[in-house]
Amino acid sequence: MATSIKQVRSSVGQRVSGLENSPPVRGGQLPNSSPARGEVRRGGKIKVALVHDFLMKVGGAEKVTSAISELFPDAPIYTLLYDRQVDKLFPQRKIVVSYLQQWQKILHLPTKFLLPFMATAIESFDFTGYDLVISSNHSFAGGIITPTETVHISYCHSPTRYLWDAFHGYVNEQRLSGWGKGILNRLLHKLRIWDKLSSGRVQSYIANSNYVKNRIQKYYRQDSTVIYPPVDIDQINPTPTHSDYFLVVSRLTPYKRIDLAIEACNTLHLPLVIIGAGEDEVRLKKLAGFSVDFLGWQSDANKIKYLQNCRALIFPGEEDFGIVPVEAIAAGRPVIAYRKGGTTETVQEGITGMFFDKPTVASLAKVMQEFLKQEKDFQPEKIAQQAKHFNKQRFQTELNNFIIRELKACGKL
């Protein structure tokens, strides 16, 4: 029995350390063979530090860093910039910020204007005295400079997209004039050289998908081990009924290709609910027909209810992994995704969803029509079973075992 969107809606009702680099403090503990907070001694505790590019919002990468930090409850986290909205992910945690935090506070600069200084800022962190540093990296965190005796493991969410495969699209999105475009091209060229050179500072890479593993090999010429990121699926369960709307959950930015979902639903006269906000929102609202509903950002609890009650999730962009599709699968709902990127590793065609092959409205609309014909073949309980491969305990166990192997190989254990 289907429920309406209205029914779904009705059911949804400074710890940061100083503005300069801090010397090592009480470090983390290396866990034992289970993901519990165990300890391995080598004349004392293994001293651990964590690094994340920016802790400015609660997103997928930040949740990965939070899961890593649970294995090392005493490890400080170094980051270029920090916002207190992420406090809930890192309670009672020592956060060490770069000098860019003070610059932004005094000068009220948008983050993008700090881009020319970020490589120098990440290199300014001092990791003297640490045995192990783990970076959670999608832009600058992997470029830290560590002592010779310190092991540096990088969990790579992606080689920096706007420097590599998304470079031209990123530059065009800025809509700069000729001279402005030239300046940006030159800046990104220099950062690309730095990114390639600094990639050699990492001792061992972990990729969040085979898709990212291939890109690490292509752009950095480095091998990596795949450990899929954790998805918080414990609170998500399938429901026996659903509504008639399709769902998009995403930041509203051009490369996410939300426009494809909007125009496909316009063409087919199908209801679409969009959860998320971003710089592309104004343009997307102009594209939207009467059957498209923008809800803005929603709490995790609300998001789960919309996932549980949707007809299917539409995931039209090319992502390195894609956490939302796994959340939809945990809710027992099928996923209609673009056949490229990390979703090819998480969505099983005919079991947990369907793929469209070209990033066009026609290709997506055609698959949506096919889905409507086959909809009854998708069983919520069977779909939800596939999400168990991506839970947090599995992630922490695999990461823990990888770290122990690397430390043993380096003579640290």
Q: What is the pLDDT of residue 365?
A: 98
Residues 191 and 256 in one domain: no
Predicted confidence (pLDDT) at residue 19 exceeds the cutoff of 70? no
Query: Is 287 within 8 Å of 276 (Cβ atoms)?
Result: no
Residues 280 and 214 in one domain: no
Average pLDDT over residues 312-319: 96
The Cα 140–Cα 138 span in angstroms is 7
For 366-397, letters b (16+ CB in 10 Å) and e give bbbeebeeeeeebebeebbbbbeebbbebbbb
In a domain, 223, yes or no: yes
Q: How confident is the model at residue 169 (pLDDT cuts 50, 70, 90)?
A: confident
Residues 203 and 342 in one domain: no
Q: How confident is the model at residue 15 (pLDDT cuts 50, 70, 90)?
A: very low
pTM of the model: 0.84
In a domain, 296, yes or no: yes
Q: How confident is the model at residue 413 (pLDDT cuts 50, 70, 90)?
A: confident
Higher pLDDT, 242 or 14: 242
Q: What is the pLDDT of residue 156?
A: 98
Query: Is 207 within 8 Å of 222 (Cβ atoms)?
Result: no
Domain count, the chain: 2
The average confidence (pLDDT) of the chain is: 89
In a domain, 172, yes or no: yes
In a domain, 9, yes or no: no
Neighbouring CB atoms inside 10 A of 172's CB total 11
In a domain, 57, yes or no: yes
Please give the share of the chain, as a percent, with pLDDT higher than 90: 77
Residues 262 and 149 in one domain: no
In a domain, 254, yes or no: yes
Residues 287 and 170 in one domain: no
CA 227 remoteness from chain centre? 14
Q: Give the Cα-Cα-Cα angle 86, 384, 273 (nearest 5 degrees).
A: 60
Q: How confident is the model at residue 176 (pLDDT cuts 50, 70, 90)?
A: confident
Residues 209 and 241 in one domain: no
Average pLDDT over residues 216-238: 94
Q: How confident is the model at residue 4 (pLDDT cuts 50, 70, 90)?
A: low
Beta-strand (E) ranges in 138-203? 151-156
Residues 240 and 221 in one domain: no
Q: What is the pLDDT of residues 196-209, one digit of tens each?
A: 999 999 999 999 99
Q: How confident is the model at residue 385 (pLDDT cuts 50, 70, 90)?
A: very high
Query: Is 103 within 8 Å of 109 (Cβ atoms)?
Result: yes
Q: What is the torsion angle, in degrees rounded to the nearest 10, for the CA atoms of residue 81, residue 87, residue 91 and residue 94? A: 20
Residues 222 and 262 in one domain: no
Structure tokens at 157: 């969410």
The Cα 18–Cα 10 span in angstroms is 45
The Cα 243–Cα 312 span in angstroms is 10
The Cα 372–Cα 277 span in angstroms is 28
For position 25, which CATH number holds?
Answer: 3.40.50
Beta-strand (E) ranges in 243-377? 246-249, 272-275, 292-296, 312-315, 335-338, 353-356
Residues 366 and 402 in one domain: no
Q: What is the pLDDT of residue 31?
A: 44
List % helix, strand, coil for the chain (3-state, nearest 5): 45, 15, 40
Pick from 269-273, 321-325, 368-372: least confident: 321-325
* Residue 246, domain extent: 232-390
At residue 55, the 3 state secondary structure works out as strand
Q: How confident is the model at residue 173 (pLDDT cuts 50, 70, 90)?
A: confident
Pick from 31-45, 321-335, 394-408: least confident: 31-45
The Cα 246–Cα 379 span in angstroms is 17
Q: What is the pLDDT of residues 262-311, one digit of tens each?
A: 999 999 999 999 999 988 999 999 999 999 999 999 998 999 999 999 99
Q: Which of 268, 272, 274, 288 is nearest to 373 (CA)?
A: 268
In a domain, 286, yes or no: yes
Q: What is the pLDDT of residue 1?
A: 46
Please give the share of the chain, as a percent, with pLDDT higher than 70: 89
In a domain, 316, yes or no: yes
For position 331, which CATH number holds?
Answer: 3.40.50.2000
The Cα 270–Cα 272 span in angstroms is 6
Q: Which of 155, 206, 207, 228 is nearest to 391 (CA)?
A: 228
Structure tokens at 52: 């994340």
User: What is the phi-psi region of residue 303: left when phi exceeds 0, alpha when psi lies from -120 to 50, beta otherwise?
Assistant: alpha
Pick from 163-177, 270-284, 385-399: least confident: 163-177
Residues 211 and 279 in one domain: no
Q: What is the pLDDT of residues 71-111, one digit of tens each?
A: 999 999 999 999 998 999 999 899 999 999 999 999 998 99
Residues 184 and 198 in one domain: yes
Residues 208 and 244 in one domain: no
Predicted confidence (pLDDT) at residue 232 exceeds the cutoff of 80? yes
